[in-house]
Amino acid sequence: MSESFPNGNSARSTRQKRALAGALARSSSFRSAQDLHAELRLRGERVGLTTVYNQLRALADTGELDVLRTDEGESLYRRCSSGQHHHHLVCRSCGMAVEVEADAVEAWAEAVARRNGFTAITHTVELTGVCPNCQ
Amino acid sequence: MSESFPNGNSARSTRQKRALAGALARSSSFRSAQDLHAELRLRGERVGLTTVYNQLRALADTGELDVLRTDEGESLYRRCSSGQHHHHLVCRSCGMAVEVEADAVEAWAEAVARRNGFTAITHTVELTGVCPNCQ
DNA sequence: GATCTTATTTGCAATGATTACCACTATTGA
DNA sequence: TCAATAGTGGTAATCATTGCAAATAAGATC
Ligand SMILES: [Mn+2]
Ligand SMILES: [Mn+2]
Ligand SMILES: [Zn+2]
Ligand SMILES: [Zn+2]
């Protein structure tokens, strides 16, 4: 008996995945799918837009990428260094992001929610501004 | 000299505006445009979906309504009692919301941003959970 | 290396909320 | 009453994102 992947677990290494991973690795900004796809095309990498969307979604689902949504509803992705829970201070001009921790905020959120009898709490905390370079 | 409205300022009272205002007034939940439009139709009020969208956007622009976006990208509106800056603890099941203040968080956000040299700072802080009624 | 299984890729057609148009209607000041 | 124009709302267009189904290609097995 040699069931290849009983639990539906696999993962093939493809040219497209590597190209996208590269683009994400060399960027410290939050990027959109369209944006990343455009960069790959410029680099001569031939990757379908649908593939970029698929992969970004998959990577975000497994927690390998952080996601945030612009006011216009566009999803932006970034590979964060910290695997820990954290938040971001993002430049609204270039997308550059700084990872920040906020233990105090975590505690506050938990307390407020509990005080009001809410359960299954989650929170969103994002800081936006203009970075030093973009002033 | 009797220039009616030099700075483009006016505001007419219409049946549609009153109907929408009413729906918003009697709800303490964040509601979508579609949702509000559906309610108006049920009530027998004849209001176009486009009008609902137009008005909600206009009211949000003037700060008369608070807006937040779901993970699916849908905009939800609510008429908040406080005109002051505040945040929300929202039930992800029924949309019911509690207004919360967070001076500590305000200070933290300001400090973090300044420490990193960011300017023109804004912040997003939303708490989501399941309210007592929906458990 | 040949072969097979199926994970991935990808062009193209939906989706779905929101907006642009714009001709038509109705409020309000005179 | 009447003109000026804010407001309305049906319909078409936008646009990021997803569904689909056929074509491609890892990589395990022979
Ligand atoms: Mn947190
Ligand atoms: Mn605040
Ligand atoms: Zn910047
Ligand atoms: Zn609830």
What total of structural domains would you count in chain B?
2
Does residue B2 belong to any structural domain of this protein? no
Does residue A38 belong to any structural domain of this protein? yes
Single out the residue of B24, B44, B25, B54 nearest to residue B35, CA to CA. B24
Prediction pTM value: 0.88
Identify the domain containing residue A128 by its residue range: 84-135
Amino acid in position A38: A
Does residue A20 belong to any structural domain of this protein? yes
Residues A89, A118 within the same domain: yes
CA triple A91-A93-A97, angle to 5 deg = 25
Q: What is the separation of C-alpha A111 from the centre of its chain, rounded to a whole number of angstroms?
A: 27
CA of B73 to C1' of D6 (A): 30
Amino acid in position A59: L
Residues A70, A41 within the same domain: yes
Single out the residue of A22, A17, A24, A52 nearest to residue A37, CA to CA. A52
pLDDT digits (tens, 9 = 90+) for B8-42: 467 899 999 999 999 999 999 999 999 999 999 99
Helix (H, G, I), strand (E, B) or coil at B74: coil
Residues A41, A62 within the same domain: yes
pLDDT digits (tens, 9 = 90+) for B32-86: 999 999 999 999 999 999 999 999 999 999 999 999 999 889 999 999 887 889 9
Contact A23, A36 (CB under 8 A): yes
Residues B44, B96 within the same domain: no
Residues A77, A12 within the same domain: yes
- pLDDT string in tens for chain A (135-residue length): 434 444 446 899 999 999 999 999 999 999 999 999 999 999 999 999 999 999 999 999 999 999 999 988 899 999 988 788 999 999 988 889 999 998 999 999 999 999 999 999 999 999 999 999 999
Residues A11, A76 within the same domain: yes
CATH assignment of the domain containing B51: 1.10.10.10
Residues of chain B contacting residue A105, judged by C-beta atoms under 8 Å apart:
104-105, 108, 125
Interface of B with A (CB under 8 A): 69, 73, 89, 91-92, 98, 100, 102, 104-105, 108-109, 112-113, 116-132, 135
Q: In this structure, are strands A87-91 and A119-130 parallel, antiparallel, or unpaired? A: parallel
